[in-house]
Structure 1
Amino acid sequence: WTPIWYFYRSMPFENLIDLYTSSDIAWLTPIRDGMNLVAKEYIATRTDKTGVLILSEMAGSANEMNESLLINPNNFEQIADSLNEAINMPKEEQIARNTLLQKRLERYNVEKWANDFMNSLINQKEKDQTNQTKRLSVDLMNTVMTDYKKAKRRLVFLDYDGTLAGFHNDPQKASPDEELYKLLDEISSQENTDMYLISGRDKETFTKWFLPKKYNMIVEHGVWISQGGEEFRMLENVKKDWMEKILPVLESFVDRTPGSFIEEKNYSLAWHYRKTDPDFGQKRAVELNTVLTSLIANDDLSVLNGNKVMEIKSSNVNKGRASMRVYSEHNYDFVFAIGDDWTDEFMFQELPKDSVTIKVGRQKTQAKYFVDNTKNVRSILKRFAEKR
C-alpha cells in the first residue's frame, strides 16, 4: 500500500481522468486561484456521482460550488474537520451534493461564460448612456472657471484619499506631495475663497500634515473641524461606547483575512482590506457587512463601504451635515465639491442645486460631473490656482 503518490510534472489528460475517477476525495487548497478547473474536472468525471470535493474558499470556482466542503487553507483545524467529514460522508449525501454540482457545471459551460462577459460589456455601455452625470469636458471646465472668477465669495470642498492623493496600502504613506501643498496654498490664499479639506481621516493625521498650513479642515466624516489653523474642535457630539462591542468582531475578521487591518479613529472604526487578495477580500467584506448590519440595528450607527475599506460610525455624522453647516456661515455665490467615495454622496446631495459637484470615477453618483482620476483633479486645482 502506497499512501501517497507524489507527481511533480504534467500529466496526459487521460491519466488525469483515471486519477479523478479512482479518488474518493479531491482536496484542493490553493491560497490564491483565478478559477481552479481541477475542481470542476473532478466533479465532471464522477459518473456515479460519488466522491467528495474539499475546496479552498479562495479559489474562484468556490463561488459556484457551494455544495463542496469549503475551507480556509490557512485554518488547519477546519481542514482536519473537513477531511474527517469527507471520509465519513454517507454515499447518499455525496450523490446529493454532486448531483447539484454537475447540473450547475452543465449550465455554466464555456459558451455561457463567454455570453455573460459579452452581455456584461453591452450592459455597461447602456448604463453609460443612461448615466445623467456628465464628463467634465474642457468646455464645461471653462464655464466653471468663468463662474469661479466672477464669484464674490467662493466655498471649495476637497476630499483627500482617492481625490487629492491616490490610495496606498498603508494609509499613513499616502501623504501630500510638494505639488499638492503648493496648489492648496495658492487656492486657500485667494481673496474671498474658503477652502476646506473634508475627509474621513483622523484628526491626528491631518494635524500633522496640514495644521501648520492653516487650511480649513473637516475630518472623521464631520466630527471635527479646524478653521484657519486653530486646534480641532468637535462639530458633532457623538458617543464611542459602542466601539467596545464592534472591535472584537473586526479583530476576528482580521484574523481570518490575511492582509487586512483595523484603523481606530476617535469616534469610528475602519476595517481596511486593500492588501488582501481582491476576490477573497471582497467576499469577507460582504460577510462582515452582513454581520455588522445585524449588530448595529438598534445603536444609531451606520456602515460606510468605501474603496477597500469598511467604516462604522455614528449615523448622525456625515459630510453632508458638516458641509451645510459651513455653507450657512456666509453668503456664498460659488460652491464647489469633489470626492471619490460614496461617503461624499451626502455632500453632493445636501449642497445647493447650483453647486459644482464632481465625482472622481465613474460610479453612480449624485454629482453633476465626473472625472476619471486624481490626475484630472490636479488639473482642476491648477486652473483654480491660476493668478487672475
Structure 2
Amino acid sequence: GIPSRLKAFRMFLSRYPRWKEHITLILIAAPSRTQVHTYRELRQEIEQMVGLINGEHGGVGWTPVQYFFRSFGYFELTALYHLADILLVTPFRDGMNLVAKEYMAARRDRAGLVILSETTGAASEFNEALIVNSNDVDGIAEALHRALSMPESERAERAQPIRRRLERYDVGRWAQEYLHQLMHVCTMRDKRWAKKLGESGRESIYAAYHAARFRLLILDYGGTLVRLGDATAPDGELYRILAELAGDGRNDIMIVDGGDRGSMAAWFDKINVDIAAEHGAWVREKGKRWIPLVANLADEWKETIKPILELQTDRTPASYFTESRHALAWHYERCVPELAKVRVSELEEELQGMDERLSMHHYEDTRTIEIRETAISKARVVSHRLSRRHYGFVLAIGNDSSDEDVFAILPEDAYSVRVGDDHTAARFLLDSSQDVRRLLRGLVSMPCSSEL
C-alpha cells in the first residue's frame, strides 16, 4: 500500500498547499525479501515517487517526504511514534498490525491520531481511528486533511478509549483469551464428534424408516444433495436415488430450497416429489401447479435494500448480489476473506433494525447474506405438510440457517441432519453432500457409486 499512500500525500499537497512546510511524511520501509525481483521493482517505484514529490513540492528548507530504507530500533521507533501527530497505515492486506497499537501506547501525552485502511488487522478494534479504503487515493488525501484540521479536543476524545483498551487488554490478557478459545475449540470438536452421524445413528434411522407406514423426507438441495456452488441439475446417481425414494408409495419427498421455481421445476419435473422453491415462497405438490405460500406479498422493502447491496458490491471486489421475486442475496465467496469479514460486519450493522420496520428478515449463510420477506420460510411449508398427515418417520436434511427453522418445528421423534456446520439444533451432523447421498442410498439399499 506504500505507492497508494505516496499518491495520496502528493494529491493532498496539491489540493491543500497551505500545509506545505507545515507537514512532513516520514516513510519507513524496512528491508524485506530484497532478493525477490518484484520487491526490487516496488522499491524502485517507491523511490521514484519520493523523488517526484520532493522535487515537485519541496524547497530549500523543507523536504515533504523523509524516506528511510532500513530497520529502526526500539528506541528510535518509540521516539518517532512520540513525535508523530498522525500514524498513516494503509496496507492492502494485513495480519495483526501491532504498529497502530505501538503508536498509541507510545503517546504518553494521550494524543495522536490513527488513519487505518479497513483491511488492517487493527481496524476492527480501532473504531475511533479514521478508516479509509487503501485503494481510494482521494479518500486517503481527505482523511489526512481531516486529521490535520481536527480540534485537539476531538483528537483526545478519540485517543482516550483506544489507550484505555490497550492498558486493560495487554499481551497477558490476550494470551489468556487465546488459550481459552483454544480450549473452547477442543470442546466444540468433541461435541461435534459426539453428534456426528455414526453407524449406530444410521442403523436407528434405517430401522425407523423401514418400520414406518408413512414417511416424510424433507431435503434441501444446494449444499445438501449437491456441493455448495454446484446447484445445477441432478446428476444421474442423485436422480436415481430420488426417483427410487419417490417411487415408494409410503414416501412423501419434499425438496425445499432457495433456488428459483423455474430451475427447480425443470430439474425435478419427472420425479414424483413436492417442491418448495425460493425458501418456500412458491410450492408445487406433485402433479399440481405452482401456488404462492403467501398471496399479495409486498416487495417495497427491496427498493430500500438494493442500493445498500449495490454499494457493498461496488466496494468489495469479486462480490455480487442476486435478486429473486421475494428475496435479495449478497454473495462474497470469492472475496478476500479479511475484506469480506469487514464488509459483512458493516452490512449486518446496517441491516440490523430494518428487519421489523420493513417486514423482512436477514440472515448469514455460507458466504452469503440473504434478505427476504418475514412471511416466507421453509418452516412454514413444512409445518403445513406435517399438519395434513401423521408420519411415522420424518427425516429433514439441510445445510444452512434457513433449515434450522425447519429443525425447530419437527416432531420430537423426527431425525434432523445438518451438513457442514456444528452450530445447529439438528440431532446429527454430516460433513458433505456425499455423506448425505450415502445415507439416502442406505434407505433404498442402492449399491455405492464408485465416484463416492
Amino acid at match of 1:256: R
Match of residue 316, structure 1, among 375, 379, 390: 375
Match of residue 98, structure 1, among 159, 176, 184: 159
1:343 equivalent to 2:391? Answer: no
Equivalent residue, structure 2, for 1:307: 366
Q: 1:24 to 1:274 in 2, by over 3 A?
A: same
Match of residue 382, structure 1, among 438, 441, 444: 441
Deviates most, 313-322 or 13-22: 13-22
Match of residue 223, structure 1, among 270, 274, 281: 281
Match of residue 198, structure 1, among 233, 256, 273: 256
Unmatched tracts of structure 2, length 5 or more: 1-61, 448-452
Percent identity reads: 35
Q: 1:130 to 1:179 in 2, by over 3 A?
A: closer
TM-score of the superposition, structure 1-length normalised?
Answer: 0.86
Cα shift readout 1:251-310 (whole Å, capped 9, x = no counterpart): 222223333221101111112222333344334333323433433423432223322222
Equivalent residue, structure 2, for 1:292: 351
Amino acid at match of 1:153: F
Equivalent residue, structure 2, for 1:373: 432
1:118 equivalent to 2:176? Answer: no
Q: Which has the higher contact order (CA 8 A, sep 6+)?
A: 1
Match of residue 243, structure 1, among 298, 302, 313: 302
Equivalent residue, structure 1, for 2:100: 39
- d(CA) in 2 for partners of 1:74, 1:215: 50
Amino acid at match of 1:136: L
1:207 equivalent to 2:268? Answer: no
Equivalent residue, structure 1, for 2:321: 262
What SS class does the counterpart of residue 297 from structure 1 fall into? helix
Amino acid at match of 1:106: E
Are the counterparts in 2 of residues 49 and 94 from structure 1 also a CA contact under 8 Å? no
- d(CA) in 1 for partners of 2:227, 2:274: 21
Q: 1:51 to 1:336 in 2, by over 3 A?
A: same
- d(CA) in 1 for partners of 2:352, 2:210: 46
Tell me the number of residue pairs that the alignment of Structure 1 and Structure 2 aligns: 385
What SS class does the counterpart of residue 394 from structure 2 fall into? strand
Deviation at 1:349, TM superposition (A): 1.9
What SS class does the counterpart of residue 60 from structure 1 fall into? coil
Are the counterparts in 2 of residues 157 and 338 from structure 1 also a CA contact under 8 Å? yes
Deviates most, 9-18 or 271-280: 9-18
- d(CA) in 1 for partners of 2:150, 2:352: 35
Equivalent residue, structure 1, for 2:63: 2
Unmatched tracts of structure 1, length 5 or more: none
Q: 1:362 to 1:15 in 2, by over 3 A?
A: same
Deviation at 1:29, TM superposition (A): 1.1
RMSD: 3.0
Are the counterparts in 2 of residues 269 and 313 from structure 1 also a CA contact under 8 Å? yes
TM-score of the superposition, structure 2-length normalised?
Answer: 0.75
Cα shift readout 1:170-228 (whole Å, capped 9, x = no counterpart): xx766644443343333333342222211122223323444355543211111112334
Deviation at 1:49, TM superposition (A): 3.6
Amino acid at match of 2:150: M
Q: 1:84 to 1:61 in 2, by over 3 A?
A: same
Q: 1:117 to 1:205 in 2, by over 3 A?
A: farther
Larger radius of gyration: 2
Deviation at 1:157, TM superposition (A): 0.9
- d(CA) in 2 for partners of 1:115, 1:176: 49
Deviation at 1:320, TM superposition (A): 1.2
- d(CA) in 2 for partners of 1:276, 1:311: 17
Deviation at 1:139, TM superposition (A): 0.8
Cα shift readout 1:346-368 (whole Å, capped 9, x = no counterpart): 21122222211112245443322
Deviation at 1:155, TM superposition (A): 1.2
- d(CA) in 1 for partners of 2:117, 2:123: 7
Q: 1:37 to 1:298 in 2, by over 3 A?
A: closer
- d(CA) in 2 for partners of 1:310, 1:287: 12
Amino acid at match of 1:41: E
Cα shift readout 1:129-158 (whole Å, capped 9, x = no counterpart): 789x83322112101101112322221111
- d(CA) in 2 for partners of 1:255, 1:266: 23
What SS class does the counterpart of residue 283 from structure 2 fall into? strand
- d(CA) in 1 for partners of 2:158, 2:306: 37
Are the counterparts in 1 of residues 293 and 376 from structure 2 also a CA contact under 8 Å? no
- d(CA) in 1 for partners of 2:87, 2:233: 48
Equivalent residue, structure 1, for 2:242: 184
- d(CA) in 1 for partners of 2:69, 2:223: 45
Are the counterparts in 1 of residues 252 and 273 from structure 2 also a CA contact under 8 Å? no
Are the counterparts in 1 of residues 246 and 272 from structure 2 also a CA contact under 8 Å? no
Equivalent residue, structure 2, for 1:273: 332
Amino acid at match of 1:162: G
